[in-house]
């Protein structure tokens, strides 16, 4: 037996270790050179790894969720047993076997954010790997019918194998649940693990100062509807670009809120540019795509980029560089926004602005009781670096502009 040890390669950007996201192979499987064998998770992306040799898998480094250091053994192959499956076309001879002490061939590494859907995939959005998509196409399986047990409903290899077995035998399909207890174990891996770690660190290390302000957005909503009258559904304006413009203008008066904290050097970095993070719920968890240089954008430009970036995040098409580098974040739960919330600061930033649900209710307006469209802004600030007075004053400035939307577009 000639063993070839495939070690975890450098995935770039200073990565020293990576989490196993998913194996697309099992011990005993025969693979060909360049076959995709699994994914490794970085902070924002899933990196597909291809086999550097042909052979039989005799050992895997661990299970999904385990962390492997760069340069550590990842997969061990028996290259003497390399064989081409009978159903596959004849491929070139596998690479010559190298001794264990020789450097491993460079693997083919394709970086995506979680997954790039196959162009020929079914219309319904399904989260899975390209290898499973290929198997499904060959087997004539509609992946929308396959229950997924992975993060965000991701279809794992075991899910697909179980579905094929159930389809062949006519048995009912059951995924992940114990028949005795009805409890399904969900391993905290990938993006969900990163979110959990960052949220815990933010609440543990940052003293949050929360401030909620009520805003009358009746005039703003009238302007929004007027501007949307001649627009197609894909170009209609939401409240977020108006809030973004108001925030940009307010930050000129309160630059101490457009700051990131460099913990390692214990310094604050006050930014002239406003790189606006837009917290976005996705099947893989909360992501924050970044609209860069919001300070120089028009309303339509800002709205278009917010749409583009949030859609890319939801479809797992956003690049890693597009999910980092924000200087301040806005977040919205849309119709689920509730009356108030306490958003968690997106470290290393020092402020986050949250949009709550807008509702019509009676209020006193110009000395008379009138029905007005009211909405709360819920904000959180890092109280180590932003004083409560300045935080409240900035939100009051945003309130003034949103209640008199023409002022958003005035110079100065």
Residue found by looking up tokens 């995924």 in the block: 175
d(CA 401, CA 399): 5
Superfamily of domain 206-409: Chloramphenicol acetyltransferase-like domain (3.30.559.10)
Cα–Cα distance, 403 to 216 (Å, whole number): 6
Inter-residue contact 107 to 49 (CB < 8 Å): yes
User: pLDDT at position 122, please?
Assistant: 41
- Alpha-carbon gap, residue 48 to 40, rounded angstroms: 7
Cβ neighbours of residue 366 closer than 8 Å, sequence gap 6 or more: none
pLDDT digits (tens, 9 = 90+) for 296-324: 999 999 999 999 999 999 988 888 889 99
Segments making up each domain of the chain, as ranges: 3-169, 206-409
Distance CA 8, CA 70 (A): 5
The catalytic residue among 208, 271, 293, 383 is 383
Classify domain 3-169 by CATH architecture. Answer: Beta Barrel (2.40)
| pLDDT on residue 168 | 78
Taking the C-alpha atoms of residue 22 and residue 173, their distance in angstroms, rounded to an integer, is 22
| Predicted pLDDT of residue 95 | 38
Look at residue 125 in the predicted model and tell me its pLDDT: 67
Low-confidence ranges of the chain (pLDDT < 50): 83-123, 178, 181
What pLDDT does residue 124 have?
Answer: 52
Q: Catalytic site residue 383?
A: yes
pLDDT at 6: 93
Per-residue model confidence as pLDDT tens digits over 381-396: 999 999 999 999 999 9
Told to judge if 387 belongs to the known catalytic residues of this protein, a careful annotator would answer yes
* Phi then psi dihedrals of residue 261, to 5 deg: -100, 115
- State the Cα–Cα distance between residues 95 and 8, nearest whole angstrom: 19
- pTM of the predicted model as reported, rounded to 2 decimal places: 0.63
Alpha-helical regions (H) of 229-351 = 239-253, 299-314
Q: Which of 66, 387, 390, 404 is catalytic?
A: 387
pLDDT at 115: 43
């Amino acid at each position: 037996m000639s063993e070839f040890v495939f070690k975890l390669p450098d995935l770039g950007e200073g990565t020293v270790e990576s989490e196993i996201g998913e194996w697309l192979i099992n011990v005993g499987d025969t693979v060909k050179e360049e076959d995709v064998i699994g994914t490794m998770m970085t902070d924002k992306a899933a990196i597909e790894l291809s086999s550097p040799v042909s052979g039989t898998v005799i050992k895997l480094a661990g299970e999904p969720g385990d962390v492997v250091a760069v340069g550590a053994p990842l997969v061990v192959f028996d290259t003497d047993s390399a064989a081409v499956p009978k159903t596959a076309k004849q491929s070139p001879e596998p690479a010559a076997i190298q001794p264990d002490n020789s450097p491993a061939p460079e693997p083919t590494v394709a970086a995506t954010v979680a997954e790039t859907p196959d162009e020929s995939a079914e219309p319904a959005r399904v989260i899975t790997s390209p290898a499973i998509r290929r198997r499904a196409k060959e087997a004539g399986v509609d992946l929308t019918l396959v229950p997924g047990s992975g993060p965000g409903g991701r279809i794992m290899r075991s899910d697909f194998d179980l579905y094929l077995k159930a389809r062949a035998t006519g048995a009912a399909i059951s995924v992940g649940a114990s028949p005795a207890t009805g409890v399904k174990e969900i391993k905290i891996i990938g993006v969900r693990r990163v979110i959990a770690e960052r949220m815990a660190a933010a609440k543990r290390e940052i003293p949050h100062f929360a401030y909620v302000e009520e805003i009358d957005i009746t005039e703003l909503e009238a302007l929004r509807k007027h501007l949307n009258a001649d627009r197609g559904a894909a170009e209609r304006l939401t409240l977020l670009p108006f809030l973004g413009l108001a925030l940009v203008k307010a930050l000129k008066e309160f630059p101490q809120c457009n700051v990131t904290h460099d913990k390692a050097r214990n310094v604050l970095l006050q930014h002239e540019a406003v790189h606006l993070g837009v917290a976005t719920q996705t099947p893989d968890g909360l992501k924050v795509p970044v609209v860069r240089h919001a300070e120089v954008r028009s309303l339509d430009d800002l709205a278009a980029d917010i749409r583009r970036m949030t859609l890319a995040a939801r479809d797992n098409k956003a690049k890693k560089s597009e999910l980092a580098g924000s200087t301040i974040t806005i977040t919205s739960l849309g119709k689920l926004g509730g009356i108030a919330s306490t958003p968690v600061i997106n470290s290393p930033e020092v402020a986050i602005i949250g949009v709550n649900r807008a509702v019509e209710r009676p209020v006193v307006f110009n000395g008379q009781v009138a029905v007005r469209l009211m909405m709360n802004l819920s904000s959180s600030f890092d109280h180590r670096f932003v004083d409560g007075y300045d935080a409240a004053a900035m939100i009051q400035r945003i309130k003034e502009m949103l209640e008199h939307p023409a002022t958003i577009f005035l110079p100065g």
